[in-house]
């Protein structure tokens, strides 16, 4: 389908529809999924694990998405999601709880 109207020039707002700061770091990007500008409870684990886990996950997810287009097999994508979440949450916890009773008896 063609149109006679010329396309509008691409503006910074078009390049970043979420209104995100184009200079944000990868760490800021990761943290934005957990109660941030990109709140997504499915990917909140990005903040829990080290940067390397999120980095490897995104690279593998993109690679597998291309493979999915070729073969239609979603199982490798599910496996990489579960593995990345498991790795992120397997490390030392970020929460500290008292070991004793919460109220004196």
Please list the pLDDT of the chain residue by residue as tens digits (105 residues): 445 555 555 454 445 555 555 688 888 888 887 777 887 777 878 877 788 888 999 999 999 999 999 999 999 999 999 999 888 888 666 555 567 666 666
In a domain, 97, yes or no: no
In a domain, 29, yes or no: no
Three-class DSSP category at 29: helix
In a domain, 24, yes or no: no
The pLDDT, as a whole number, for residue 10 is 47
Give residue 36's region: left, alpha or beta (phi > 0; psi -120 to 50): beta
In a domain, 55, yes or no: yes
What's the domain range around 76?
Answer: 45-91
In a domain, 76, yes or no: yes
Q: Which of 33, 7, 1 has the alpha carbon at shortest distance from 20?
A: 33
pTM exceeds 0.85: no
């Amino acid at each position: 389908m063609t149109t006679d109207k010329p396309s509008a020039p691409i503006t910074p707002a078009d390049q970043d529809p979420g209104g995100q700061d184009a200079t944000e770091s990868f760490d800021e990007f990761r943290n934005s999924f957990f109660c941030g500008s990109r709140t997504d409870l499915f990917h909140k684990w990005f903040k829990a694990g080290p940067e390397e886990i999120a980095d490897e996950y995104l690279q593998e997810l993109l690679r597998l998405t291309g493979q999915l287009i070729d073969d239609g097999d979603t199982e490798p994508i599910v496996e990489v999601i579960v593995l990345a979440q498991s790795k992120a949450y397997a490390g030392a916890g970020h929460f500290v709880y008292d070991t004793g009773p919460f109220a004196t008896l």
